[in-house]
Amino acid sequence: MRMRTLWRVLVGPPVRARDVSREQITPVEGLSALSLDALTSVAYGPEAIIAVLAVAGARALHLVLPVTVAIVVLLAILVFSYRQVIDAYPGGGGAYAVSLDNFGPRVSLVAAAALVVDYTLTVAVSIAAGTAALTSAFPGLSPATVPICLAVLAVITLVNLRGLGDAARAFLLPTMVFIVGLLAILAIGLIHPLALHAAPLSRSLLPARAVEPLSLLLLLKAFSAGCSALTGVEAIANGVPLFKPPRVRRAKRTELLLGVILGAMLLGVATLAGRWRVAPRSGQTVLSQVMTIAVGRDWAYYAMSLTIMVVLALAANTSFGGLPVLASLLARNNYLPHLYALRDDRQVFASGIWTLAILSGALLVAVGGRTLTLIPLYAIGVFTGFTLSQGGLVVHWRRTRPPRWRYRASLNGLGAAVTAVATVVFLATKFTEGAWVVVLALPAFIMLFTRIHRYYDQAGRALGIGRIPGKPQARPMAVVVPVTGVSRLAQYGISAALSISEHVQAVTVVPSGAGEESERVRELQRQWKRWNPGVPLRVLRTEYASVARPIVAFVDRLRRRCSEPVIVLIPVALPDRLRYRFLHNHIDLVLTRALRYRPDVVVARVPVRVHVHRRAAPRR
Amino acid sequence: MRMRTLWRVLVGPPVRARDVSREQITPVEGLSALSLDALTSVAYGPEAIIAVLAVAGARALHLVLPVTVAIVVLLAILVFSYRQVIDAYPGGGGAYAVSLDNFGPRVSLVAAAALVVDYTLTVAVSIAAGTAALTSAFPGLSPATVPICLAVLAVITLVNLRGLGDAARAFLLPTMVFIVGLLAILAIGLIHPLALHAAPLSRSLLPARAVEPLSLLLLLKAFSAGCSALTGVEAIANGVPLFKPPRVRRAKRTELLLGVILGAMLLGVATLAGRWRVAPRSGQTVLSQVMTIAVGRDWAYYAMSLTIMVVLALAANTSFGGLPVLASLLARNNYLPHLYALRDDRQVFASGIWTLAILSGALLVAVGGRTLTLIPLYAIGVFTGFTLSQGGLVVHWRRTRPPRWRYRASLNGLGAAVTAVATVVFLATKFTEGAWVVVLALPAFIMLFTRIHRYYDQAGRALGIGRIPGKPQARPMAVVVPVTGVSRLAQYGISAALSISEHVQAVTVVPSGAGEESERVRELQRQWKRWNPGVPLRVLRTEYASVARPIVAFVDRLRRRCSEPVIVLIPVALPDRLRYRFLHNHIDLVLTRALRYRPDVVVARVPVRVHVHRRAAPRR
């Protein structure tokens, strides 16, 4: 009881459906509500590029900027493509919805699987990167990386189980501090004639000599690693209904704003990292090094590090807005257990929230909270979704043929082609570094969805859902009441039984053999006679220890003999306090489990309250 | 289903009570069945002494032999005292039984608590010491100490869940190899003119200078640490009924045999360790060092190390024979949940076995599998039991006054006094090193026992157990059937309801408000009319997400209005395969939980089977 009370305090009281806030947002608020995942990827995208290039030695680091430029070009293509998605699907155009609409259910499952992977990885990567920002600022915390990750995850999970309500508006402040602060620091760094501040002291991971020659493959690897910075640019197109009218115009403006800010940040970090030859270091992120050199380990640095930690946690939070809703759509279409379509007392999809928390928590533990280990897995799911969305849009434009549809189709076609090529590049270059996990996970999820769907189809037919079944028919019932002795428990059980039917039998189980036991039986029979409840007592003897076995056998014999449906009424002592429940024999649980698969056998518990007045009874 | 099958294969099929073997043993077999705990303590007792003395530097090590002699004298007193326990309690004289008989229930709970602590520590210490024997022989295994400990524990637990049957006889061979082999190695070591073999190479833990001066306190500490070697000498007195007649004579002979062998082993190890100045070393036990010096790292050493590992595991196993039986006695006397008095399908007390496995496993993990960390906790529980047994015997002799009762009483009195003094010494010298855990655990267990006892007293009164209750009375019942639509589920549920009563209502829950939802309601009502099952359908509207809440409210209103007892019949789809069960809504679980505490409300599940033919349906 007290555990449940504590939980209620943490999660809050139940909420009415109409009380769930349906606030509507402006473009600037859209940045904080929908674009944090994309904006915060500046914390790990450039780092991923540098980590790849570093294996070719210090000389290769001047390539950070050209690779980033290529990524920003891709960003521009994506931004314009997604502005068209907003036009086409003002009701919200996630990859799942778009591909369901244009490619049919089969392909949409690919998108759904990719999204599940994507949401999970977004949570894990954002939390890992946020923790890295924290441990860069406070190196003493590094040994606790995994516990910190899990604590952040726990807080996010709890907040989402409560339901966010008006909280999204509270994201605005940290988002603004992050955007303005980081752009300011980058500007200071760019204006500075030279790095005035000492470079950070942690151990450089740059190898003394090149481990690998600089090759096209390495460049492609760096490009694909950096594409992790593009994850999240699709989120605004999913969330069009959240905007204030005119929705489409505001959403498109937000998308453009996101593109400009993210592009500027990426180019700024890449320019400074290239100019200052920032190399990967243990215990300090690239962004932390850039900030340290630009403004020193001063209040601005620490404030910014904490802000980055916070906005990355908020970025992880956006996945918690996405996956549970996707799961509820899939469940409603019979691709996931219906459990995922049920709202909780707080009107949130609790099963989806828990699933996401468990999946991403397991991932964080598996990689020890290291962002760079997760990067090779990351972009594949996202870019698969990009390709499906853009490809779906091409089909959409061809089908609907609005004005300038050819131009629109070719723009989305370009987006689809570029992201498809990028996906192939990811697969080819990152396969052995972890991408194989995603290559296995996607078909596994798709198979899970289709198998669940097949089962629901079959079960629906078997249960005759949607058809008018035969008329219900009353049949007399045989009632069995298991008892252990003459007591109020037996009285209540038999009372309920007699209320249901006249065909009632009490049964009791005794071990056969021992003389002491048959004495107990005789005593019980004497007491039964004295009580005379109007119901016969059957004594079932057994050589086995299980009490359930002989009762199940008795029920089976009864069903064979009399063809009546059988109802087993188990009197159960229910103490006032939860902790005393463990003290009563759980024969009801054993019996319920044993009889669960008997057709025509109904198992019921007759609760008999046990009022215990604490400390009222004399102590022994 | 498959999980349960696997479990059945591991644990074996159910066993009849009469098929449980009740073999009877000879004195030599008694050594393997009852004395392994005592005999194997030679593997950690001398080590514990040396570890204490070592803090006073190398010179202190010549005191190993005198301390051991004192312990062997105590052993002799205990052996003769327990031979008298066998005389007095030929039915088995555990500390619990003896103190219950002579001191009453209050004191017997102290003995019970001490025994629980003792059994748990015996398992943990024996497994830790066995693993140490293994890692001494194969140092490469040391990093895996805790996993090895837990694996050994898992095997022992599983074997005991199967039930031992005739297995005890199989213990004979390793026990004999252990006794004969170790005595032979000690003899070789004593006859050798000098240590011919090189001393072991692992790092000595002996401090370069004395950390502490040699003091009386240190000697007392060494003595109390060494007393861990005496644990287990009481086991034979507990197991007298296992012996072939003449039971008492055979049991007494076994006790004497145990004393002689254990004394010889302890003195042998102490002599050699003192002569060769064996110091504690990391990664190698004292016994392993003694054996290495005596016979070299040769086949004899390795064979003996493995044997020690095996007999220590078997020693841990003896606790699994003890604690579950003790727990069942306590449960039968209402001091533990009745669950502990229930036999499993295999006729073993499974709850007791699981409890012991979990407690000792937690202990092993907590101390990282280090024997020496457990030693300060060990002897206190055991010696508390010794004192209570011997003290109880003094009372027993005074009461029964057999011939020579004064002599007998004074012998047991001596035993009680000496062990009481030893217990006080343990407490005083080892309190800060871990003994406080036991000092806290004993009263905690006693409080648990008494609180459970009080609850059962009160619950028994509240349930009128042993009194003749009022006559059962039939009352018409109101039946509520929650449905989600028109289907076979509803048909089966309503059929069962009409069989029970004529007062039946179907209820369904819909979220209020949304227009789409009221359309669904109209459609459902149309279908219901077409079906016309002869039962009204109540539509319950709710603004909350929970489906259980409105049904509970409806049931409460019904009870207030019509004063009839209510039975809620929940139709439940039961697929053939376990894994599909997750795919059906678990409203029955939610409703059962929500209604559990309503008196006069019976909750029943009406199982409706879902036959799904795999692969028969066409794929979508």
Query: pLDDT digit string (tens) for A111-129?
Result: 999 999 999 999 999 999 9
Q: How confident is the model at residue B311 (pLDDT cuts 50, 70, 90)?
A: very high
CA A112 to chain centre: 13
Among B residues 457-476, those touching chain A with beta carbons less than 8 Å apart = 457-459, 461-476
Element (H, E) at A93: none
First to last CA, chain B: 28
pLDDT at A618: 45
**Pairwise CA distance, residues B168 & B297, whole Å:** 31
Q: Is the pLDDT of residue A191 over 90?
A: no
- C-beta of residue A553 within 8 angstroms of C-beta of residue A541: no
Separation CA A573–CA A581 (nearest Å)? 8
Beta carbons of B583 and A345 less than 8 Å apart: no
Are A461 and B494 inside 8 Å of each other by CB?
no
- Are A224 and A426 in contact by the 8 Å Cβ rule? The answer is yes
Which pLDDT score is estimated for A2?
A: 60
Which residues are CB-contacts of A139 (< 8 A; sequence separation ≥ 6)? A202, A283, A284
Among the partner-chain residues A337, A462, A613, the one whose CB lies closest to the CB of B610 is A462
Q: Answer whether residue B357 shows pLDDT above 90.
A: yes
Q: Is A177 on the interface with B (CB under 8 A)?
A: no
Do the chains contact at B499 and A474, CB–CB below 8 Å? Answer: yes
Q: Report which of residues B352 and B582 the model is more confident about.
A: B352
Helix A45-53 to helix A247-275 angle (10° resolution) is 40
Instruction: State the best of A465, A505, A572 to mutate against chain B, taking most chain B CBs within 10 Å.
Output: A465
Write the residue in B455, B463, B487 that is nearest to A464 by C-beta.
Answer: B487
d(CA A97, CA A108): 7
Q: Using a CB–CB cutoff of 8 Å, tell me whether A342 touches chain B.
A: yes
* pLDDT value at residue B590: 79
Residues of A in contact with B531 (CB under 8 A): 468-469, 471
**Which pLDDT belongs to residue A617?**
43
pLDDT band at residue B585 using 50, 70 and 90 as cut-offs: low
Whether A105 contacts A347, CB under 8 Å = no
Q: Contacts of residue A15 in chain B, CB cutoff 8 Å?
A: 544-545
pLDDT value, residue A599: 73
Going by pLDDT thresholds of 50, 70 and 90, the confidence category of residue B619 is very low
- Across the interface, of A345, A511, A549, the residue whose CB is closest to B546 is A345
Contacts of B523 (CB under 8 A, 6+ apart): none
Structure tokens at A517: 């036991």
- Per-residue pLDDT, averaged over A188-214, amounts to 64
Pick among A7, A353, A468, A501 to test the B interface (most B CBs inside 10 A):
A468
Q: Which of A465, A511, A574 lies closest to B485 in CB terms?
A: A465
CA angle A359, A220, A265 (to 5 degrees): 70
pLDDT category at B511 given cuts 50, 70, 90 is: confident
Segment B458-477 shows an average pLDDT of 84
| A560 in reach of chain B (CB within 8 A) | no
3-state SS string for B378-441: HHHHHHHHHHHHHHHHHHHHHHHCCCCHHHHHHHHHHHHHHHHHHHHHHHHHHHHHCHHHHHHH
**pLDDT tier for residue B617 given thresholds of 50, 70 and 90:** very low
| pLDDT reading at A357 higher than 90 | yes
Q: Which of B469, B535, B620 is nearest residue A457 as measured by Cβ atoms?
A: B620
**pTM (whole model) above 0.90:** no
pLDDT, average across residues B485-514: 86
Whether A186 has a pLDDT exceeding 50, the answer reads: yes
Lowest-confidence pick of A99-103, A399-403, B188-192, B301-305: B188-192
What would the mean pLDDT of B274-287 be, rounded to a whole number?
Answer: 84
Residue B211 has a pLDDT of 66
pLDDT at residue B510 in the model = 85
pLDDT reported for residue A10:
74
In this prediction, residue A143 carries a pLDDT of: 82
Kindly report, residue by residue over B22-66, the tens digit of the pLDDT.
667 788 888 887 888 899 999 999 999 998 888 888 778 888 999
* Partner residue facing A338 (CB), from B466, B527, B585: B585
Q: Are B474 and B497 in contact (CB under 8 A)?
A: no
pLDDT mean over A416-421: 90
Bridging pattern class, strands A601-610 and B601-610: antiparallel
Chain A residues with CB under 8 Å of B342 CB are 545, 585
Query: How far is the CA of A324 from the CAs of A47, A307, B17, in angstroms?
Result: 30, 27, 53
Average pLDDT, chain A: 85
How confident is the model at residue B12, as a pLDDT?
A: 76
Note whether B177 and B22 are within 8 A (CB).
no
Nearest-CA residue of chain A relative to B549? A345
**Partner A, chain B 102-121, Cβ-Cβ below 8 Å:** 105
| Res. B167 pLDDT band, cuts 50 70 90 | low
Locate the chain A residue with the closest alpha carbon to B498. Answer: A474
Determine the 3-state secondary structure of A540 from DSSP: strand
What pLDDT is recorded for position B126? 94
Q: Which residue in B463, B470, B495 is closest to A472 by CB distance?
A: B495
Which among A457, A492, A612 has the least Cβ separation from residue B617? A457
Residue-wise pLDDT tens digits, A275-328: 888 888 877 888 998 888 888 888 888 999 999 999 999 899 888 888 888 898
**What's the burial of A168, exposed, middle or buried (CB within 10 Å: 0-12/13-18/19+)?**
buried
Q: Is the Cβ of B545 closer than 8 Å to some Cβ of chain A?
A: yes
Asked whether residue B443 carries a pLDDT value surpassing 50, the answer given is: yes
Q: pLDDT tens across B263-275, in order? A: 999 999 999 988 8
What span, in angstroms and rounded, lies between the C-alpha atoms of A443 and A128? Answer: 26
pLDDT attached to residue B66: 92
Binned at pLDDT 50, 70 and 90, residue B504 comes out as very high
Residue, of A306 and B18, whose pLDDT is higher: A306
Within a 13 Å sphere around the CA of B466, how many CA atoms are in the beta-carbon half? 5
Min Cα distance A553 → chain B (Å) is 15
Are B469 and A531 in contact (CB < 8 Å)?
Answer: yes
Mean pLDDT value across residues A181-205? 71
Most B-contacting residue of A11, A461, A481, A500 (CB-CB within 10 A), to test interface = A500
Q: What is the distance in angstroms between the Cα of A143 and the nearest Cα belonging to chain B?
A: 20
- Measure the CA angle with vertex B404, ends B400 and B409; round to 5°: 65
Q: Which two tokens stand for residue A240?
A: 């069009």
Of the pLDDT bands very low, low, confident and very high (cuts 50, 70, 90), residue B618 is very low
User: A157-161, A214-218, A528-532: lowest mean pLDDT where?
Assistant: A214-218
Q: Of B344, B345, B457, B487, which to mutate for an interface test with A (greatest number of A Cβ within 10 Å)?
A: B487
Which one is predicted more confidently, B351 or B618?
A: B351
Which residue reads 């050594």 in tokens?
A: B31
Q: What is the average pLDDT across A411-430? A: 88
Quick check: B495 contacting A, CB < 8 Å?
yes
Asked whether the predicted pLDDT for residue B208 surpasses 60, the reply is no
Count CB atoms within 10 A of the CB of residue B599: 11
Interface touch B602/A574, C-beta < 8 Å: no
**pLDDT tens-digit readout, A483-497:** 888 888 899 899 999
Contact check, Cβ <8 Å, B544/A501: no
pLDDT at residue B480, rounded to an integer:
93
> Pick the residue with more confidence: A598 or B310?
B310
Reported as a pLDDT band with limits 50, 70 and 90, residue B322 is confident
Helix (H, G, I), strand (E, B) or coil at A529: helix
State residue B466's pLDDT score: 73
Chain B nearest CA to A527, separation (Å): 8
> Average pLDDT of chain B?
85
- Give the closest residue to A138 by CA, choosing from A362, A373, A302: A302
CB pairs under 8 A between A and B: 276
Check pLDDT > 50 for residue A455: yes
C-alpha distance from A23 to closest chain B C-alpha (Å): 18
pLDDT at B469: 85
pLDDT (mean) for A514-527: 79
Residue range B135-162: mean pLDDT, rounded: 89
pLDDT of residue A202: 56
| Higher per-residue pLDDT: B562 or B337 | B337
Q: Report chain A's C-alpha Rg in angstroms.
A: 32
Helices (H), B276-298: 286-295
Residue B202: which pLDDT band, with cuts at 50, 70 and 90? Answer: low
Contact B472 A527 (CB under 8 A): no
Chain A within 8 Å of B598 (Cβ-Cβ)? yes
pLDDT at B113: 94
3-state secondary structure A320-363: HHHHHHHHHHHHHCCCCCHHHHCCCCCCCCHHHHHHHHHHHHHH
Burial class (CB in 10 A: 0-12, 13-18, 19+), B370: middle
Q: What's the pLDDT at B589?
A: 76
Radius of gyration of chain B (CA): 32
Query: Comparing C-alpha atoms, which of B485, B416, B455, B460 is closest to residue B80?
Result: B416
Share of chain A above pLDDT 90, in %: 28
d(CA A192, CA A276): 12
> Which pLDDT does position B218 carry in this prediction?
86
Q: How confident is the model at residue A150 (pLDDT cuts 50, 70, 90)?
A: very high
**Min Cα separation B290/chain A (Å):** 41
Q: Does B216 touch chain A (CB under 8 A)?
A: no
Q: Is the pLDDT of residue A481 over 70?
A: yes
Say yes or no for a CB contact (<8 Å) between A545 and B14.
yes
Nearest CB among A343, A471, A544 relative to B345 is that of: A544
Asked if residue A232 lies in contact with residue A38, where contact means CB atoms within 8 angstroms, the answer is yes
β-sheet with A601-610: strand ranges across: A537-542, A503-511, A478-482, A566-575, A601-610, B601-610, B566-575, B478-482, B503-511, B537-542
Q: Please answer yes or no on whether A469 and B487 come within 8 Å at the CB atom.
A: yes
Q: Among residues 498-517 of chain A, which lie with CB inside 8 Å of chain B?
A: 498-501, 511-513
Q: What ipTM was predicted for this assembly? A: 0.75
How high is the pLDDT of residue B267? 94
- For B334, which residue in chain A has the nearest alpha carbon? A583
- Interface check for B529 against chain A (CB to CB < 8 A): the answer is no
